Amino acid sequence: MKDIENFEFIDRMSDSDALMWSIEKDPLLRSTIVTVSTFEGSLDHDRVRHQVDFMSRAIPRLRQRVRANPLSIAPPRWEFDPYFDLAYHLRFVTVSEGATLHDVLSMAEPIGMQGFDRARPLWEFTVVDGLADGTSAVIIKIHHSITDGVGGMKLQLALFNLSPDDPTPELPDAPEIHVLSQPERVADAVSHESRRSAGMFADWAKRGLGGVLGVLTDPVGALADAEELSGSVVRMIKPASPMSPLITERSLSVRFDTLQFPLAQAKGAAKASGGRLNDAFIGGLALGLRRYHEAHARNVGALRMNMPINIRNQTIGNQAGNAFIPARVEVPLHPDDPAEIMKKVRTAVLSARDDPANDLMELLSNGLNRLPTSMTSSLFGAMLKGNDFTASNVPGAPIPIYLVGQRMLSQYAFGPNAGSAMNFTLVSYADECFIGANIDPVAVPDPDVLMLCVQKGFDEVLSLSPTS
């Protein structure tokens, strides 16, 4: 699983990646991703060190730091860290005998709450030994500007194996280091912006020609399309308040929790209502969040969800980085019937996926990045903080995978809250669904009650499956 040669790593952030980087002036908008994976046996430290070293050489981003200049006309650059130190990024810890996944999550929480050292590459890797039954765990922390969930699964190709007997890879040469001088930085920024502007003008020329032809052949339809687009843009960028009267506060703290259920059962439930896995995922969350509000004597008709819509095949192709649109979806919490909820959820998500403003996300990001950082954080933060929750569905490996000979048993991802009260990320791995819940304990002071309600919501959805 080491063949990632087709992945392209460009030297500059995209506008959307740069936006995620710059809005962290407001710490509530940090874009930190944490994953916790468990393995069936003990992980040999020397072999892990070799494997992670291999990964850092095969994936340029893992040896690169971000160099930004507030006066630059171009987005920040990815540049190789001349002082890269693997020992800083890779740590080994041993827990007390009988420790469980819950103990690993408690260890991962402060890791997730700490900001990155922005002078270094944006990742950390912690191996946890000594869990019950001889198992072990790995905590990976990575900044969202490096990759999204789908891209992250591809980058795992440099870390994991398909077989426990795969040979140890030979280390590639370390990357050549060249720290740009200030004149070289200016020249590089001008060159990058010239190329990008030419591409943007060509794209808009095509759009403009299409628009002119549209006005000439169908003026009424062209006017309606323009009105629809402007309304769509307003919906995308307008500030909003949370729809929930209950989960309104926000803080920098997190609590991690997990859920797990069979993939076949979830797909069976979705198919029973004419939908797909994502409908079962969001439907279960909707029913669970309705239960949570009812437990606090609050009746809420809908909540605002932030859901990344994957557009990788439409935009960056094999480029590293992010390729998603942060769609805002008003998710209905009624009726009680799980099949009907899944149908309503599917309609709402598809509507958000087809929103005309989605095509303008990179352009909007470009405009926001031109503003002072404090203003960018304020404007974009006003959009994000109006979300009640975030949900993300990431397809993982469909078959068992291995790290230095040990089979991975589970993989939980804890996406950033980035202004919302909680984030639920589903990773499908082998035959199971693993949901990582990142919960703000100030917004949700009783996370155990929340998780019990969400579990019941998924129980209702999964009961529709023929395999139940």
Rounded Cα gap, residues 35 and 440, in angstroms: 17
Q: Kindly tell me the burial class for residue 133, based on how many C-beta atoms sit within 10 Å of its own C-beta (0-12, 13-18, 19 or more).
A: exposed
- What DSSP designation does 425 have? E
Active-site residue (options: 89, 143, 144, 192): 144
H helices within 218-323, ranges in order?
219-237, 263-272, 277-295
CA distance 466 to 110: 41
389 and 282 Cβ atoms separated by less than 8 Å: no
Length of the chain: 468
Output phi, psi for 176, to 5 deg: -70, 140
Q: What is the DSSP letter of 134?
A: G
Take residue 347 and report the two structure tokens written for it: 């309609």
Contact between 427 and 416 (Cβ < 8 Å): no
Q: Please give the structure tokens belonging to residue 115.
A: 């900001």
- Kindly give the pairing relationship between strand 402-403 and strand 389-395: unpaired
CB burial of residue 459 (10 Å; 0-12, 13-18, 19+): middle
At 108, list the tokens: 């991962």
In angstroms, the Cα distances linking 352 to 221, 289, 309, 326, 347 are 22, 20, 9, 10, 9
For the chain, how long is the longest CA-to-CA vector? 75
Cis omega (within 30 of 0) for bond into 326: no
DSSP state of 104: H
User: Are the C-beta atoms of residues 394 and 153 closer than 8 Å to each other?
Assistant: yes
Cβ proximity of 384 and 24 under 8 Å? no
Q: Is 89 a catalytic residue?
A: no
Tell me the CB-side half-sphere exposure of residue 418, using CA atoms within 13 A.
27
Q: Tell me how far apart the terminal alpha carbons of the chain are, to the nearest angstrom.
A: 35
Residues annotated as catalytic (active site), given as ranges: 144
